[in-house]
Structure 1
Amino acid sequence: MQITARGRHRVPQASVPGQTFAMGDVFSDGVRPDGEQPVHPVRLPAYEIDATTVTVSDYREFVAATGYRTEAETYGWSAVFHLAVAEGSEIAGRMAGTPWWLGVSGADWAHPAGPTSTAADDHPVVHVSWNDAQAYCTWAGRRLPTEAEWECAARGGKPSQRYPWGDTLPAEWPCNIWQGTFPTVNTADDGWVTTAPARSYEPNDYGLYQPIGNVWEWCADWFSPSYYAVSPLDDPRGPKTGAARVIRGGSYLCHDSYCNRYRNAARSANTPDSSTGNTGFRTVAL
């Protein structure tokens, strides 16, 4: 639907100073199809980015003002992790190659585990597609961050580090990721089985909460594993076309045994109409 109303974006802002930084994976942690290399310099002007992901409460205000229906609502289902499905939910299908993802009828941003579940206001909104995130941005007078802006902000001014805080995971869990045996046993040692409140754990040095872990975050760019080899120095915007949009930061499902993408340099992608229980977004000022 066409968004004509204009709303108020209430997410606190973090300031990222203009700078040149090294973008990409200096540790060779990633896999080749993700295209995290070559490491290359990127120069960005200063910008303002959301300190947290957009929350359920923020998205509810948008929906109430516009009557917008997400693509999950239009399709009638969305992807829910198998251990998170609400009791009594109808399974519409299974995801090819990832049987731990179930298509659950009635799962959407307000009902993240199925139609009988309720989304917590202070948690990241999930089950929003790239198109749904764009619709919010139009209403709020915002935009999705470019992939370069996202990585620069996540690094928090600390160059070439694996995580926002350093190169290793400390004993105290610094982010919301999987503990246990993926995908069958989650010990929830960090306190969370699925999403944590958007303002959880310590922010990075720019004031961003949970740029890694918790939920994947949509970026503006089309995805290409070969883009870094041709990326311009100044304010890169990604390929001109593509089949999938970039997602960044990993989620509560990331674990070294399967997906170690809870890193500053890690990248992945999904089609613009896809929605899952572990993907949300944050925005940037126009």
Structure 2
Amino acid sequence: MPAGAFTMGDASGDGLAVDGELPLHPVELDAFEIDATPVTNEQFARFADATGYVTDAERTGASAVFHLLVDAPTADIAGPIVGTPWWIGVRGADWRHPGGRASSLAGLDQHPAVHVSWHDALAYCAWAGRRLPTEAEWERAARGGLESATYPWGDDPIDGNDGVWRANVWQGAFPAHNTAADGWVGTAPVRTFAPNGFGLWQAVGNVWEWCADRFDPGYYAIAPLVNPRGPEDGDGLGGERDDERRVLRGGSYLCHPSYCNRYRNSARSSNTPDSTMGNAGFRTVAA
């Protein structure tokens, strides 16, 4: 990614006010290098095997699995998560066992590593000599050089109206029935569909991607216009972990217009840095 400028934020009017995708603002970035794909299970396994690293999900002994993807003994199923009953707390779920203790990575080497926390992503970056992208770096790369476009490929619909599927998102009635019209119920291999104009694969859909920044929905109004690095403190939404939430970008295989329209270039979300779930991974950058 050469040094350059782009307009950051929601130009389509599809954003949620609570996410803070406005105001639109110009951003200048230094040159950086970014992974063409999210980190795969094969890559994460090399890191874990070389270092003996134990992820947050492995340490806590459980992680969040989408209800249709649970593959675990009944005794391991802790039950639905309050407020999001389609997420199930599953003991023994982790990056090596994405559905739970009865699952494995067989056939998933080229799928994105999931059930990795922000802390786990940082540990991988330290081993690889890289870092997480800033939110601004992620958005510029995701846009693929298309100024103000909704998606990495432009503004054409994601849902295959012209017979071409462009990303891995939910089809059908969420959260009960996924038709898998794009070929996937859960994660897809990282080089599925087509890359954007900068050569990035699946910047939207498939898995959420951790960024380096803390999250604050009011940040765009005060952000520096050159190499923004995110706010110094929290999201301003209150709570004992107010200053811990980190940015997630890109949406996932669970995104659907009926409840989540965050599979867009400008869409923002966040979670605490120790959170793990079956639809979040990361890609890395280097200056």
- What TM-score do you get using the length of structure 1 for normalisation? 0.93
**Offset at residue 173 of structure 1 (A):** 1.1
SS in 2 for 1:131: helix
1:160 to 148, 154, 160: 148
Matched, 1:180 2:172: yes
| Structure 2 match to 1:128 | 116
Give unpaired runs (5+ residues) of structure 2.
Answer: 234-242
Q: Which residue of 1 aligns with 2:4?
A: 19
Q: Which residue of 2 aligns with 1:189?
A: 181
Q: How far apart, CA to CA, are the structure 1 residues paired with 2:153 and 2:53?
A: 38
> What's the C-alpha RMSD, in Å, of the aligned pairs?
0.9
Q: Distance in 2 between matches of 1:107 and 1:87?
A: 8
Q: Where does 1:194-273 land on structure 2 (aligned, <5 Å)?
A: 194-241=186-233, 242-273=243-274
Cross-structure match for 2:29: 44
Q: Secondary structure at the match of 1:143?
A: coil
Partner of 2:237: none
Alignment map for 1:89-104 (pairs within 5 Å):
89=74, 90-104=76-90
Q: How far does residue 76 in structure 1 lie from its aligned partner after superposition?
A: 0.3
Question: How far is the alpha carbon of 1:46 from its aligned partner?
Answer: 1.4
Q: Could you tell me which of 58, 65, 68 is aligned with 2:50?
A: 65
Counterpart for residue 135 of structure 2:
147
Q: Which piece of structure 1 moves more, 272-281 or 162-171?
A: 162-171
Partners of 1:58 and 1:132 lie apart in 2 by 13
Question: What is the CA–CA distance in structure 2 between the aligned matches of 1:231 and 1:145, rounded to whole Å?
Answer: 16
Q: Identity percentage over the alignment?
A: 63
Pair 1:53-2:38 in alignment? yes
Distance 1:243 1:134 in 2: 15
> Over residues 77-117 of structure 1, what are the superposed CA-to-partner deviations in whole Å (9 max), with x where a residue is unaligned?
00000011015252124222100000101000010000110
Among candidates 73, 78, 101, match of residue 63 of structure 2: 78
Q: Give 1:227's aligned amino acid.
A: Y
CA distance in 2, matches of 1:30, 1:233: 21
Number of the residue aligned with 1:6: none
CA deviation after TM superposition for structure 1 residue 44, in Å: 0.5
CA distance in 2, matches of 1:26, 1:95: 34
TM-score scaled by length of structure 2: 0.93
* 3-state SS of 1:41 partner: strand
Counterpart of 1:102 in structure 2: which amino acid? Answer: I
1:174-223 CA distance string (max 9 Å, x none): 00000000000000000000000011110001000000000000000000
Aligned equivalents of 1:87, 1:96: Cα separation in 2: 20
**Aligned to 1:225, what secondary structure does the other structure show?**
coil
Aligned length: 271
For structure 1, the residue ranges without an aligned partner over 5 or more in a row are: 1-15
Alpha-carbon distance in structure 1 between the residues aligned to 2:112 and 2:131: 17
Amino acid at match of 1:233: L
